[in-house]
Amino acid sequence: MGRREWAKWWESVTEWTPEDVWTDFLGKRRKYERVKEELLGTDLLPVLRKALADGDSSYAVFSLVEEEAGDRPELFRELVPDLYPYTLSLGPPGIFSRRALRALSRPGTPHAELAPLVAATLRDEVTDVFAMRALAMLLEDVNDLTLLARWREAALTSPDEDVRELPDEYPESEYPPPDAPQEP
């Protein structure tokens, strides 16, 4: 874009009223919804898996899963193994990937897809205080009290002192395992 075109564009943008901006926003939102529907009509999983593996467009995947999980849970549940490594971060990727997995949650339904992944983490990462904290956050977010109880047991027996302190933040009294007797 040359200097003259840029100046013309800048002038047109600065003359926009809030109503113009709102109308433009609505038009772009409708276009986004159309493109998203086209995307959802394709063989999407390989593309999403590649995006997660590459990492450069992972936030777009997190957003799509969060938006569409309620309508297409069977499709997005297949991505759980690809999303899971991101959830073990305390930073933004962890936050957004946990939100995506929370969108796939159904109250009272255990996460069969998560169980083997959590078991591997409890076996391999039990001394990583950051991964263990992020895992507890995930299990709380998806409300899987069975897996949270397993996490608590593993954390309490960890060789790492900092990890052993984590269960204090997720006491059994507040997060009872499903088979625990309920207090009146």
- Residue-wise pLDDT for 61-74, tens only, equals 999 999 998 888 88
Q: pTM of the full predicted structure?
A: 0.81
The CA distances from residue 151 to 79, 121, 177, in Å, are 22, 9, 11
Average pLDDT of the chain, as a whole number: 89
Q: How many CA atoms lie within 13 A of 9 on its CB side?
A: 6
- The domain tally of the chain equals 2
Could you tell me the two tokens for 130? 């950051």
Domain stops at, among 104, 135, 166: 104
Q: Is residue 20 very low, low, confident or very high in pLDDT (cuts 50, 70, 90)?
A: confident
pLDDT at 8 over 90: no
Does 98 share its domain with 117?
A: no
The reply to whether 33 and 77 lie within a common domain is yes
Please report which confidence band the pLDDT of residue 103 belongs to, taking 50, 70 and 90 as the band edges.
Answer: very high
Tokens of 76: 């997005």
- Domain-terminating residue out of 37, 71, 104: 104
8 part of a folded domain = no
Task: Compute the average pLDDT of residues 48-54.
Answer: 95
Pair 68, 142 in one domain: no
CB 147 within 8 A of CB 114: yes
Cβ 69 vs Cβ 111: under 8 Å: no
Task: Tell which of 104, 127, 142 closes a domain.
Answer: 104
CA distance 154 to 156: 6
Contacts of 170 (CB under 8 A, 6+ apart): 136, 140, 148, 151, 152
Domain identity same for 63 and 121: no
Same domain as 119, residue 95: no
Report the residue count for the chain: 184
Residue 5 lies in a domain: no
7 is a domain residue: no
Statement to judge: residues 43 and 91 lie in one domain: yes
Confidence of residue 110 (pLDDT cuts 50, 70, 90): low
Range of the domain at 159: 110-184
Residue 95 and residue 148 in one domain: no
Residue 140 counted as domain residue: yes
Residue 70 lies in a domain: yes
184 and 117 housed in the same domain: yes
Q: Are residues 115 and 100 in the same domain?
A: no
Same domain, 138 and 171: yes
Asked if residue 12 is part of any domain, the answer here is no
Q: Is residue 151 part of a domain?
A: yes
Per-residue buried b or exposed e for 97-133, using 16+ beta carbons within 10 Å of the residue's own CB = bbebbbbbbeeeeebebbeebbeebbeebbebbebbb
